[in-house]
Amino acid sequence: MELTTVWFALIAVLWAGYFLLEGFDFGVGVLLPVLGRDNRERRLLINTIGPVWDGNEVWLIVAGGATFAAFPEWYATLFSGFFLPLLLILVALIIRGVAFEYRGKRDDDRWRRRWDWCIVAGSAVPAVLWGVAFGNIVRGVPLDASHEYVGGFFNLLNPYALLGGLTTLTLFTLHGAVFLALKTDGEMRSRAGRLAAALSWPALVVAAAFLLWTSVAYFDPSGLIIFAAAALSLIGAAVAARFRREGWAFIGTGLTLVLAVAGLFVTLFPNVMPALDPANSLTVDNASSTPYTLTVMTWVAVAFTPIVLAYQGWTYWVFRKRLTVERIPS
């Protein structure tokens, strides 16, 4: 297997890991005013992701760095053409991170409410825009012969991409509700479980619409098989949520997100950024770095990836216990 294909697959793995882990962070943020009825309950919800949310974002940083090093032309075209959406995502992530730190700096309800809404917006905006971005990548974007993006911002807001954004928002919100049911106990666990069961069916409808559109317009037999597996995982998650089996429901929503990313990347291959004119598309061959660069990157990844995975796994193990509102000081 060529190193260009290997790195394409590794970048897909990084995005799958990011959606799996950051997905429930976004869901918890979106649900903060829905499940958190007072300050103690909202602090409980934030504490469920407090030890891990910043570590989960490392997957995004590594995915961006790997794209820059392995496929510099893809990186350049993506970040220039999608500059405004990616800037909005970056600003939203910064605001969310600041809000986590600043909401408790003053003992004032209005101060906390303002930062709580920053957490909601900082979670919802990326949840939507990541779906819009990947929807456009699968659909194809206007590129010229030099692989430069020649469209505008509103070209990205097409119906297919917007449906992709709605799909990621609903899936992340469901993933977050299931995570909260798994991570909390007492009344909050029951409330999150009921909400997860209620959210599972709208998520199924939206995801099925996006899957159908993708299968009809961008048919790929290999991708279709993976998307079908993702649909089955989501159905399984809905059933598990209905019977309050939080562990199985979380496995189901997690598998759905991982398989959805895998299906999108399989549908793309060998393109990394399809153009509306196929002759101008960026592929794993014309967008890649030199073989020497890819070889050095491979050895670095082999050496350091197990260390990073072990550390992050240890973090989740240390903070594995359920949380209750009674443990939150008044």
Alpha-helical segments (H) within the chain: 3-30, 32-35, 39-49, 53-56, 58-70, 72-81, 83-102, 109-139, 159-183, 187-217, 221-242, 246-268, 291-318
**Cα(287)–Cα(15) distance, rounded to whole angstroms?**
19
pLDDT of residue 225: 86
Phi then psi dihedrals of residue 143, to 5 deg: -120, 145
pLDDT of residue 1: 57
The three-class DSSP label of residue 142 is coil
**Sequence ranges of the domains in the chain:** 10-327
Sign of the alpha-carbon torsion through 266, 270, 275, 278:
negative
| End-to-end CA separation in angstroms for the chain | 58
**Cα(239)–Cα(245) distance, rounded to whole angstroms?**
9
pLDDT of residue 219: 66
**Cα(198)–Cα(204) distance, rounded to whole angstroms?**
11
CATH 3.30.460 fits 10-327, yes or no: no
| Whole-structure pTM value | 0.94
Name the DSSP class of 271. E
pLDDT of residue 129: 95
**Structure-token pair, residue 19:** 């959606």
Kindly report, residue by residue over 305-321, the tens digit of the pLDDT: 888 889 889 999 999 89
Contact call for residues 326 and 99 (beta carbons, < 8 A): no
pLDDT of residue 308: 86
Which residue stretches of the chain have pLDDT < 50?
none
C-alpha angle 278/284/287, rounded to 5°? 85
